[in-house]
Amino acid sequence: MDTNLFTTNNLWLLVATVLVFVMHLGFATLEAGLVQRKNAVNILFKNVMIISIGLISYYVIGFSLMYPGESWNGIIGFAQIGLALPEGESIAYADGSYTYWTDFIFQGMFAATCCTIVSGAVAERMKLESFLIISLIFVSISYPITGMWKWGGGWLDSLGFYDFAGSTLVHSVGGWGALAAIILLGPRLGKYSKNGINPIPGHNLPLAAVGVFLLWFGWFGFNGGSVLSADPDLVSLVFVTTSLAAAAGALGSFFTSYALFKSHDLTMVLNGILGGLVGITAGADLMSPFEAIIIGLIAGIIIPFSVVFFDRMKLDDPVGATSVHLVCGIWGTLAVGIFGSLASINQLWYQFVGIVAIGATTFIFMFIVIYIVKATIGIRVSTEDETIGLDTAEHEMPAYHDLSPKPENLAVK
């Protein structure tokens, strides 16, 4: 085994892990910018806790559920509590591409991403403790079991289902969890009325824009690291397809949102970028640059229509997580059967089966979990707490201190 190649592959995957970690900063700033000022601390607190809970719970049982080695009919299996380095030299692990420890930390960053998707969708009205309990169960049990079906050598992998970096296994899974949550949680106060839909704008769009750029930056590790080696041709191709899809997503959302609303909505374009990124994630290694542009463009076109659809269904999603991650995740997964080197009717069917199986399992499981939490300790903050803001109600601290002069200090002495 070439130790230099092993070191290079392993180093690239660790760099990719750092980039995926940066995505959590991107999610935090994006979500903080898109909520009201009075809830900024709350959403940041949830993002901080998600990565912490995600890594610990993935260490305890999640990793062993997702990569059990052996499983029952490719549906479920479990290796051990915690981590245990396989016997033999480190270089023998994963065909000499990376170490066991690198595998865990890279996959652990992916796991936490799922819960981050949910946090934005339920922002401004879900109890902190309830959210943390739900997140713990989601990342410990739901996400790794469905992830094993493909990435852990489960039944969908045997079927022929393909998801390179997680359009379905990460993004749609997070989107299905978010959908279950917002159905049971209900909309924010004043969002919907007899007069129609009342916009509740985010308080800091510059912060949201920074978040999207950080996510785009981190996606080079999310997709590029999923090559699972430092293969120069394949990693560079994935960088190209990822960026072209993101850019096309921005254009698709730009033109479509203007046609629908006759305005240049920054949030639509930002979500268009993310929609393009989610859309290309399932097949970033299979697509030509032109195909990546088409996939991203369609994802961007989908975003405004999806946002309107969820609003008309009175499903309140402050950051558009269901549109970006669920709907565009479905589109990107189907695109593997339409474009690229695997395109065929059979592949399209495999993709459809995977979407339905993972989507139904995740939605039903999380709906039951959230319903139980709702029936026991509750999931919604009080009307009073929602009105004054969760920063005050749950944290007793504002995100921003008022630095304007006090009236008494302006008096002539």
**Tens digits of residue pLDDT in 236-255:** 999 999 999 999 999 999 99
Is residue 160 over pLDDT 70? Answer: yes
320 Cβ contact partners less than 8 Å away, ≥ 6 residues apart: 267, 271, 303, 306, 307
- Provide the pLDDT for residue 407: 53
Residue 208: CATH number of its domain: 1.10.3430.10
Are 332 and 282 in contact by the 8 Å Cβ rule? The answer is yes
3-state secondary structure of 377: coil
Residues 336-359 have a mean pLDDT of: 98
User: Is 191 within the bounds of a domain?
Assistant: yes
pLDDT confidence tier of residue 1, bands split at 50, 70 and 90: low
User: Is 413 within the bounds of a domain?
Assistant: no
User: Is 410 within the bounds of a domain?
Assistant: no
User: Is 65 within the bounds of a domain?
Assistant: yes
* CA–CA–CA angle 24, 32, 247 (5° rounding): 65
Can you name the residues that pair with 192 across neighbouring β-strands?
197
User: Is 372 within the bounds of a domain?
Assistant: yes
Between 401 and 131, the more confident residue is 131
| pLDDT tens per residue, range 16-69 | 999 999 999 999 999 999 999 999 999 999 999 999 999 999 999 999 999 998
User: Is 406 within the bounds of a domain?
Assistant: no
Q: How far apart are CA 26 and CA 30, in angstroms?
A: 6
- Provide the pLDDT for residue 2: 80
Give the residue numbers spanning the domain of 57: 3-395
Are 174 and 325 in contact by the 8 Å Cβ rule? The answer is yes
Structural domain count, the chain: 1
Q: What percent of the chain has pLDDT over 70?
A: 97
pLDDT confidence tier of residue 3, bands split at 50, 70 and 90: confident
| pLDDT tens per residue, range 176-214 | 999 999 999 999 999 999 889 999 999 999 999 999 999
User: Is 358 within the bounds of a domain?
Assistant: yes
* CA–CA–CA angle 215, 151, 1 (5° rounding): 95
- Provide the pLDDT for residue 413: 44
| DSSP per-residue string spanning 69-95 | SS-BTTTB----SS--PPSS-GGGGGG
User: Is 279 within the bounds of a domain?
Assistant: yes
Is residue 295 over pLDDT 90? Answer: yes
